[in-house]
Amino acid sequence: MEISQLKQIYQLMSNNDFDEIELRLGESERVKMTRSANSSKVAKPECIKIAETNIQNTQVSESLSDSTKTEILSELVGVFQFMDEDENFFPKVGDEVAMGEKLGKILSLNSTKEVKSPIDGRISEIAVKKNDIVDYGRLLFVIEDLSSIKA
């Protein structure tokens, strides 16, 4: 793995306030990075993890320099819905979204959890359909980091 890639990963950790990250690169290579916590940052969103599929081999890791993807995972078990008509948003692949923008919601027995984009980016995958039963940790969206695309 190149130093520049490590720097990018570090930047990503910093943006998302991750203290530690472990990457598996194919069968033989593993990279673990730890950074000291920055108390001024907001708590890290538990639903985000770096897409492992992006960094499986050197070829793909080239794409890492073009774009970095962030997975949005379900934080609770429930029924998924995209934002309803009143909120007037039905995301499509390719849509640009701002950090904190609502993408959908998960309805459990007594509560509703909004699903928001953790970064400024572009939707590269929608892995969920309306009324899907989603369990904890299920992949919902993949967002490409806009800043890394523009860079």
Partner 1 sequence: MISKILVANRGEIAVRIIRTCKSLDIRTVAVYSEADKDALHVKMADEAYCIGPARPDLSYLNMEAILTVAQMTECDAIHPGYGFLSENPEFAEKTEQFGCVFIGPSYKAIRLLGQKSVARDIMKKAGVPVMPGSDSCISSPEEGARIADEIGYPVLIKATSGGGGKGMRLVEKPEDFIKLCQTAQAEAASAFGDDRVYVEKYMVNPRHIEVQIVADQWGRVFALGVRECSIQRRHQKLLEESSSVALTPELRTQIAETALKVVRTINNGKDGVIYHNLGTVEFLLDEDGHFFFMEMNTRLQVEHPVTEMTCGGYDLVALQIADAMKEEPLPLENEILNTHGWAIECRINAEDPTSAFVPSPGTIEKFIAPGGLNVRLDTAVYDGYKIPTMYDTMIGKLITWGNNRDEAISRMIVALDEFEIKGVENTISFHKFILNNRDFYNGKFSTAFVEKHYEDYLNKMKLASKKKD
Report how far Cα 128 is from the mean position of its chain's Cα atoms.
14
Candidate list 2, 26, 35, 136; residue touching partner 1; CB under 8 A: 136
- The reply on whether position 108 binds partner 1 by CB under 8 A is yes
Q: Longest Cα pair distance anywhere in the chain, in angstroms?
A: 50
CA distances to 44, 62, 67, 80, 137 from 8, rounded to whole Å, are: 18, 12, 10, 33, 25
- The reply on whether position 37 binds partner 1 by CB under 8 A is no
Q: Which is closer to partner 1, CB of 78 or CB of 121?
A: 78
Residues 61-100 that bind partner 1 (CB under 8 A): 76-79
Q: Which is closer to partner 1, CB of 42 or CB of 109?
A: 109
Q: Which is closer to partner 1, CB of 98 or CB of 136?
A: 136
- The reply on whether position 133 binds partner 1 by CB under 8 A is yes
